Amino acid sequence: MSYRVAVLAGDGIGPEVMTQARRVLQAVEQKFNLVIDYQEYDVGGIAIDNHGTPLPNSTLRGCEQSDAILFGSVGGPKWENLPPEQQPERGALLPLRGHFELFCNLRPATLHPGLEALSPLRADISEKGFDILVVRELTGGIYFGKPKGREGSGDQEFAYDTMRYSRSEIERIARNAFIAAQSRRQKVTSVDKANVLACSVLWREVVEQVAAEFSDVELEHIYIDNATMQLLKRPNEFDVMLCSNLFGDIISDECAMLTGSMGLLPSASTNSKGFGLYEPAGGSAPDIAGKGVANPVAQILSAAMMLRYSLNQNAAAQCIEEAVAKALSNGYLTGELISPGSEHTAKTTKQMGDIIVQYI
């Protein structure tokens, strides 16, 4: 099998963790007889520096000619004072999501066995572990709804955004959530604010209709405000959390932080044709960039998600995931994962790559 992948390493730690992901991919390509052609393109701050825009046309065209995008991370202090729509993160990610209609965002947040102490949660809560998959709608809602703008002047000046959801937009993301739940713990928690938002009332209605097709999956509804609370008390009771764009932004970040190990979390954003963008949940971490200490696991697991969802190479994906799990459970950890007083010594970005390649 032969594929084409657009590599957008970006800024900060992006390039160095991408190097390790590429090595791991190379190892599974050999093992599973895959041929992947990688093309590198600028994105984010480096693209602003080289082309004057965070998402150059050449990058977009390159992505169009690929089966998937493997994305690093973008942003840094150098570009922080640009107007919002020109900043690396917003200016690259939102147009990519919109252009390729990447409506389905999967953000797993798992507390890895042995790493419970990293969670900011109380020991008796974190020791129960949790394994949550946030399924976030990514191309609708208040992110893309029109009209959006500003009018009037003086005291009377006002700004407005439109949250908007169609039945079909809700249906397709809901269906993905239920399918995901079927191969997990058969539970979907749909997050909304149906006591206030018209969009949420429709959301709830459509989600219930979709649920009727999945009699093996339990559905519960929760208000966004209550969801942020219950996640703190009983994270282990959630399985799949189905969210609109804005609520998914919030809930997925809360879940990520609850693991205490953001450097381990991948994400996938796919469209209805299986094309997708795969990126670590964490940011570009400019403070540690270039030091060789960043955790490459999130990038490596993002590559695994790419193999699974866009390249249909489930066995190769699983092989990477097992190698990562083995490395972690054998105590191969980068510095930020090591609690004070632990017997482990910090591994470098490259050492993490080495061991995972070895376990493939």
**CB of residue 143 to ligand IPM, shortest distance in Å:** 7
- The verdict on whether 155 is a catalytic residue reads no
The amino acid present at 358, given as its one-letter code, is Q
**CB of residue 255 to a second copy, shortest distance in Å:** 10
- Give the one entry of a second copy, ligand IPM, none that residue 315 binds, where binding means its C-beta sits below a cut-off of 5 to 8 angstroms depending on kind: none
192: contact with ligand IPM by CB under 6 A: no
Q: Is there a binding annotation on residue 85? A: yes
Q: Is there a binding annotation on residue 88? A: yes
Catalytic one among 253, 326, 350, 354?
Answer: 253
Task: Let me know: does 280 contact 266? Beta carbons within 8 Å.
Answer: yes
- The verdict on whether 143 is a catalytic residue reads yes
Q: Is the peptide bond before 147 cis (omega within 30 degrees of 0)?
A: yes
- The verdict on whether 37 is a catalytic residue reads no
89: contact with ligand IPM by CB under 6 A: yes
Q: Is there a binding annotation on residue 293? A: yes
- Give the one entry of a second copy, ligand IPM, none that residue 152 binds, where binding means its C-beta sits below a cut-off of 5 to 8 angstroms depending on kind: a second copy
Report in angstroms the alpha-carbon separations of 264 from 140, 185, 201, 333, 353: 27, 22, 35, 10, 13
Which CB sits closer to a second copy, 233 or 291? 233
- The verdict on whether 249 is a catalytic residue reads yes
Please give the DSSP secondary-structure letter assigned to residue 37. Answer: E
Catalytic one among 41, 143, 278, 359?
Answer: 143
Q: What backbone torsions phi and psi does residue 110 show, to the nearest 5 degrees?
A: -120, 140
- The verdict on whether 354 is a catalytic residue reads no
Task: Let me know: does 176 contact 190? Beta carbons within 8 Å.
Answer: no
What is the full DSSP assignment across 66-92?
Answer: SSEEEEEE---GGGTTS-GGGSHHHHH
- Alpha-carbon distance 73 to 283, whole Å? 6
User: Which uninterrupted H or E stretch holds 39?
Assistant: strand 35-40
- Alpha-carbon distance 175 to 104, whole Å? 10
Mapped onto helix, strand or coil, the DSSP state of residue 295 is coil
The amino acid present at 54, given as its one-letter code, is P
- Give the one entry of a second copy, ligand IPM, none that residue 232 binds, where binding means its C-beta sits below a cut-off of 5 to 8 angstroms depending on kind: a second copy
| Residue numbering of the annotated binding site for NAD(+) | 76-89, 283-295
| Residue numbering of the annotated binding site for Mg(2+) | 225, 249, 253
| Residue numbering of the annotated binding site | 76-89, 97, 107, 136, 225, 249, 253, 283-295
Q: Which residues are catalytic?
A: 143, 193, 225, 249, 253
Q: Given the rule CB under 6 A, which residues bind ligand IPM? A: 89-90, 93-94, 195-196, 225, 249
